[in-house]
Structure 1
Amino acid sequence: MISAAIQRVIEDKSGSFLIPASKIAFVEEDNPLYHAFLILTKVKYAKIPVLNQEGQITGLLSLAMITDKMLELDGISTKPLNHYKVKDVMQTDFVSVNFTEKDLETQLHLLVDHNFLPVVDDRGVFQGMITRREWFKAFNYLAHTFDDRYVTIDKKQPLRLQAGGK
């Protein structure tokens, strides 16, 4: 369990954890794989979300998934990319969190194994991402501001009170 004092400081910063969907590159599941290849070569993300026409996240796509389809016996070719759609190669088993879920501990545990967490609303519509990078920024904030807000007591050392203002 996260310390209550530490959680309060992190919650001050937690509003900035979410990178809104409007700032994130994505592809649609029915896009040609060639289109996705062009998108992924221009953005600096390892994986991007795949959305359906209703804006719901249905998968994740990486450049490695695409290049796997480009490999031929005698080299690499982009020609096969015209015969596939994104939904043919995307990762469909992924973790996401609900937009209303504010459980920082759950987010932190999930980010140990995932670089980012897609955030969805109750209908599965993609709202944005929480990234490990944003959490590191919050921890950096915590590490540099904790003493400005809190006084800590070492519970292993006896508390010494001075009587009479001495």
Structure 2
Amino acid sequence: MFSPSIQHLIEEKSGSFLIPASRIAFVQADNPLYHAFLILTKVKYSKIPVLDKDRKVVGLLSLAMITDEMLKVDKISIDPLNELKVQDVMQTDFDKINFVQTTLETQLHLLVDNAFLPVVDDRGIFQGLLTRREWIKAFNYVVHTYDNHYQVQEIKDTNSQSLINTK
């Protein structure tokens, strides 16, 4: 559980955590793999969301997943780019969150293993991405402004040394 004072400061920045869907590069599950290869190459992201026709997140796709299909035992072939669709290669087991329903603590735990988390609404419609980068920026804000918001007073007792926060 987060310290209430830490949680309060992080929540001050949580509105900036979400990168809206309108600013996110994505591909659709039925796109040809060559299209996804071009998108990933141009946007220079390591991984992007895959959406279906209803704008629901159905997978994630990386350049490494595509190039893995191109690698043969003795050569590199571009044939799979024309033969396969995104849905044939994409990762289908991934974490996603509902921004309103997911606690800050859960978000942080999931971001340990994920550079980003797709965010969906109650109907499963893609809303954007929560990135580890934005979370780190919020943490940076907390550690640099904590003393501007709270007074920390050291309390010593016979068993241990601890600190108490006062607002």
Q: Which residue of 2 aligns with 1:145?
A: 145
For residues 18 and 115 of structure 1, the distance between their equivalents in structure 2, rounded to whole angstroms, comes to: 13
State which drifts further: 62-71 or 72-81.
72-81
Higher Rg: 1
How far 1:71 moved relative to its partner?
Answer: 1.1
CA distance in 2, matches of 1:102, 1:151: 29
Give identity over the alignment, percent.
68
Q: CA deviation at 1:99?
A: 3.1
- Distance in 2 between residues matched to 1:122 and 1:80, nearest whole Å: 36
Q: Distance in 2 between matches of 1:110 and 1:144?
A: 24
**2:47 matched to which residue of 1?**
47
Counterpart of 1:163 in structure 2 is: none
Normalised by the length of structure 2, the TM-score is 0.91
Matches within 5 A, 1:52-71: 52-71=52-71
Question: C-alpha separation between the residues in 2 aligned to 1:56 and 1:88?
Answer: 17
Structure 1 consecutive aligned stretches of length 4 or more whose deviation exceeds 3 Å: none
- Render the CA deviation track for 1:88-125: whole Å, top value 9, x for unaligned: 01000000001322510110111111111110011111
- CA offsets per residue over residues 7-45 of structure 1, 9 Å max, x none? 001100000000001111000000000000001111122
The structural deviation recorded for 1:79 is 1.8
Q: How many residues align?
A: 158
Contact map agreement 1:70 1:80 (CA 8 A) in 2: yes
Q: TM-score, normalised by structure 1?
A: 0.91
Q: Does 1:124 align with 2:124?
A: yes
In the other structure, the counterpart of 1:164 is: none
For residue 28 of structure 2, what is the amino acid of its counterpart? E
Shift of 1:157: 6.1
Between the aligned partners of 2:125 and 2:36, the Cα distance in structure 1 is 20
For 1:24, the equivalent position in structure 2 comes to 24
Answering whether residue 82 of structure 2 is matched by residue 72 of structure 1, we say no
Gaps in structure 2 of 5+ consecutive residues:
159-167
User: Helix, strand or coil: the match of 1:97?
Assistant: coil
**What is the Cα-based RMSD across aligned positions, in Å?**
1.3
Q: Distance in 2 between matches of 1:15 and 1:102?
A: 14
Letter in 1 for 2:36: A
